[in-house]
Structure formats: structure tokens, C-alpha cells
Amino acid sequence: MRAAAALLRHYLEYASAELCHRLRAPVEFRGDGQYQLGELLPAAITHMRKLHMRAKEAANSWNQKEVIVHLAARESKFALLAEASKAEQWQVNAAVHFNSWDNLVKRDFEPVAKAFRDLLGGFTCSDCGEYLRVSPDRETPESVRCECGKTNINLRKRSESLGS
Ligand SMILES: [Zn+2]
């Protein structure tokens, strides 16, 4: 179980770093680059939520009702995945912290591993399966998109694009 827990931790650490990079999630800077899972995954989740909100505001400003409905569905699905993973509770609830995975029996570890697999799925395009990214990768964010082009979520509000 220890090995399985360590493997999941390492995998999530790698995936979370990739997500924070792609989504441009704010993380406290470390000159040594030694980021821990607890610093990365909650930041990625929080930032994804912010991106959903920003996208909804943008769609609202363009009066794109269908897009708003679509985004709301995406948002609530993601919220359920985040909740099931309990990653956002790591700081306040030691019992669900990733360091406690070592003490779980197999029966209890399996749903934890599944919850995180599902959570990572919430950061991907349902078509190509790639992690989403914020474009461009510097300066004002314009969209959340994937590699295949199917997922392309606008982040720019009407007033911004008119420069007012
Ligand atoms: Zn795609």
C-alpha cells in the first residue's frame, strides 16, 4: 500500500505541476523548484474554478446563452470531481491529506485513487484527452483550449475586446 500511495503521489505531483503550468495557476514561487503536491493540486483546482467563472462572465458579456449553459454544466461537473478528491481540504483536515494515504487499506485506497483519476479527467478535453491550457501562455489570457481544437473556451469579455 505504501508503494501504491507513493506512486499515486508522484504521479499527481507531476500532473499537478503540468496543470499549473498549462493553466497559468498562481503558485508561491520557489527558487529551488521543489514544489509539493499540496502546493500544486489545490492551486490548479482553484484556478480551474476561476477560469470557469471568467469564461461565464465572458459568455455573458457576449450574450451567448448556450455557451453559458454549457459552461455551467462543465463547472458543476468539475466541482463534484474536486469535492470527491477532497484535495481542497488537505490544509484543514489531516485525515484526508495525501500523507495519510500510506495508512489506508487497499479497499479504502482504491476509491481515493479513482477520485484523483477522475479529477484529472476534469482538466482534459473529452475528445483528445489532453490537458487543457490557457492561451496565450503569457500576457492577457484569451482562451482555455486543447490540442485538437474541440475545446475552446473564450475568456475575453466584450468590453475588453473593444478596448473600453
Ligand atoms: Zn481536444
Nearest to 81 by CA among 107, 39, 120, 108: 120
Tell me which residues have their CB within 5 A of the ion that is ligand 1.
125, 127-128, 146, 148, 150
DSSP 68-122: HHHHHHHHHHHHHHHHHHTGGGTTT-GGGSGGGGGG--HHHHHHHHHHHHHHHHT
132 C-alpha to ligand 1 centroid (Å):
8
CA of residue 129 to ligand 1 center, whole Å? 6
What digits encode the pLDDT tens for the residues 106-116? 999 999 999 99
Alpha-carbon distance 82 to 9, whole Å?
16
Centre of ligand 1 to C-alpha 145, Å, is 7
pLDDT at 160: 57
Q: What is the pLDDT of residues 21-67, one digit of tens each?
A: 999 999 999 999 999 999 999 999 999 999 999 999 999 999 999 99
Average pLDDT (113-121) is 98
131 pLDDT more than 70: yes
List all residues 6 or more positions away from 135 whose beta carbon is below 8 Å from its beta carbon. 141, 142, 143, 144, 145
- The length of the chain, given as a count of residues: 164
